[in-house]
Amino acid sequence: MKPTIKIFFFVFSTIIFFSCKTKNKPARADAGTERKWWKEATVYQIYPRSFQDSDGDGVGDLKGIISRLDYIKSLGIDAVWLNPVYESPNKDNGYDISDYQNIMKQFGNMDDFDKLLKGFHDRGIKVMMDMVLNHCSDQHKWFQEAKKSRNSEYYNYFHWWPAEKGEPPYRWSIFDEKAYGWEFNKATNSYYLHYFADFQPDLNWENPQLRQDIYKMMRYWCDKGVDGFRMDALAFISKDTTWPPLPKEYNGNWGLYYASGPYLHDYIQEMNREVLSKYNLATVAEAMGDIPRVKMFVDEDRKELNMAYNFEAIDFGYLPGEYKMPDPNGYDFVKWKSIYAKWDSAFVEKGWGTMYLANHDQPRMLTRWGNDTPEFRDYSSKLLTTFILSMRATPFYYFGDEIGMNNIKFEKVEQYNDVELLTNYEQVKAKGGDLKRFLEGMKISSRDNGRTPMQWDTTTNAGFGNGKSWLPVNGNYKTINVAAQEKDENSCLNYFRKMIRLRKDNDVLVYGKYTLLDKTNPDVFAYTRELNGKKLLVLLNFRGKITSVNTGIDVGNGEILINNYSTPSAGGTLKPYEAIIYQL
């Protein structure tokens, strides 16, 4: 570095250092944790395709969301995460982006987006965009050019294996029927890499030009005023381009190997310097792996991201070696609780976690983690809401769960739309597997269950839109819908609002120390939250039967802050799916 540049750099960083110190006085909420808006926020996830269709084409759109802004505001949430709205051929519903700086035609145009952003901001709601940075669509200009010739200026925006070197070293692909991550391209006589479907070529982050283009694009959205990013498949962006054989420990665990590329964190730190640090953003990564790995994304000292998803709890209870096949014997509840406790302790000193039970890659939480029978749907929906909003982590709450929507449970493969399911179906079929069993499992776990249209009212298509919707509306919309629940003060919807208010009014629910109690209880999730002398006790009976709980705490003098029955249980028992929060 030249001396003048060095001096400039020193003066500049000193100014920045001191201005940050004075601006962000470390207001410690508890040992270890600094207050931040995104720690205190409840994020509501909107899958735009399925939220509200304004033009009758059967697909939700931005104008549709605009027409529901007041509803969203009424929930009391602080931020929304929008699944991808960029131009896309939609083979993976927007996760195959063909133009990062334009809006998908089915969803509207940039003018609609600007209005939507303003509409949210006018209501004090922040907006997080989905950023898909590991791959783009094969229809993106970069790939269209790259695939023409090895001399194309975009050739090195992707990973290629020249065919003259023979077959490429094996790489797995998640959305490929042959589970093979390389696809041959005739014009260049080479194979391109795709960890996801063959229409989702992986971007070559080793190329600094690509990285600069990405940062520029991200700054475009930040300059528009978006408030954060949910980073799709971010853990996979760095690859070892010597393409060594997959290590032995890989053994099908793609999160472990693919999520640990040699320059992963260098790239994220560079992104932080070039983009994230310049704005007041909330960032959350899909970050696979164990605690030490995931902590690297969110440890403040490393200057990378704010939050990460933990997949361990959400993927729990599936049979090993099979695609999302629920264990017919249920899941080990005691172990599941310990996973949450483990991930809570991971972020006590550094970093911050997320709490979610559903999203667009998951089935409906009511079916998977609660009980969607008429007898228990209400209670268990409220119980899950209590759980999500009482943990020490930022809650990400999926649209429709506030009214207790449940899985649609398709009978036939033809009813599904999802590339992931269809790929896996073909794989089971090719191996001569049991397709009936596969489809039974998918009634519980497939992603399309979480993507059916929002149930607004009892009119045609549940008020989602006039045209035939891209996925059918769940047949129970006449009883399960927003309009009906607005009128009922005891509805799931109003319980959700109440629970959000409770979290807002009680810092202890955000920052308070978390302690798991009655750890070996096979039915009840019990924990305390403590902050500055205030102590809350959360009791959640995850079973459809009366159970006993033994926390060792006398709740006799406790005040009930919220509960999902008209008369709460007293003492050591809980009613089916009962949820209670006491202030002790």
Interface residues toward ligand GLC, by CB under 6 A: 92, 95, 132, 196, 232-233, 286, 360-361
Q: What are phi and psi of 246, to 5 degrees?
A: -60, 135
Nearest to ligand GLC of 420, 523 (CB atom): 420
Q: How far is the CB of 20 from ligand GLC (least distance, A)?
A: 33
CB 69 within 8 A of CB 80: no
Nearest to ligand GLC of 360, 382 (CB atom): 360
Task: Pick left, alpha or beta for residue 179 (phi over 0 → left; psi -120 to 50 → alpha; otherwise beta).
Answer: left
Nearest to ligand GLC of 363, 576 (CB atom): 363
Q: How far is the CB of 36 from ligand GLC (least distance, A)?
A: 24
Q: What is the 3-state secondary structure (H, E, C) of 288-348?
A: CCCHHHHHHHHCHHHCCCCEECCCCCCCCCECCCCCCCECCCCCCHHHHHHHHHHHHHHCC
- List Cβ neighbours of 393 (8 Å cut-off, separation of 6 or more): 307, 343, 344, 347, 352, 353, 354, 355
Nearest to ligand GLC of 173, 563 (CB atom): 173
Nearest to ligand GLC of 129, 482 (CB atom): 129
Q: How far is the CB of 195 from ligand GLC (least distance, A)?
A: 9
- List Cβ neighbours of 18 (8 Å cut-off, separation of 6 or more): none
Q: How far is the CB of 244 from ligand GLC (least distance, A)?
A: 24
- List Cβ neighbours of 378 (8 Å cut-off, separation of 6 or more): 404, 491, 492, 564
Nearest to ligand GLC of 288, 531 (CB atom): 288
Q: What is the dihedral of CA 134, 135, 136, 141, to 10 degrees?
A: 100
CB 362 within 8 A of CB 368: yes
What's at 153, amino acid-wise?
A: E
Q: How far is the CB of 381 from ligand GLC (least distance, A)?
A: 23
With CB atoms as reference, the residue minimizing the distance to ligand GLC is 95
The Cα 27–Cα 7 span in angstroms is 32
Q: Which residues are catalytic?
A: 232, 286
Residue 15 CB neighbour total at 10 angstroms: 10
CB 201 within 8 A of CB 194: yes
Residue 134 CB neighbour total at 10 angstroms: 24
- Look up residue 92 and give its two tokens: 């993976």
Nearest to ligand GLC of 176, 344 (CB atom): 176
Q: Regarding beta strands 99-103 and 534-541, do their DSSP bridges make them parallel or antiparallel, or are they unpaired? A: unpaired
Nearest to ligand GLC of 89, 225 (CB atom): 89
Count of alpha carbons within 13 Å of 287, Cβ hemisphere only?
26
Q: How far is the CB of 419 from ligand GLC (least distance, A)?
A: 7
Q: How far is the CB of 225 from ligand GLC (least distance, A)?
A: 24
Q: How far is the CB of 449 from ligand GLC (least distance, A)?
A: 14
Count of alpha carbons within 13 Å of 86, Cβ hemisphere only?
21
The residue among 234, 241, 221 whose CA lies nearest residue 268 is: 234
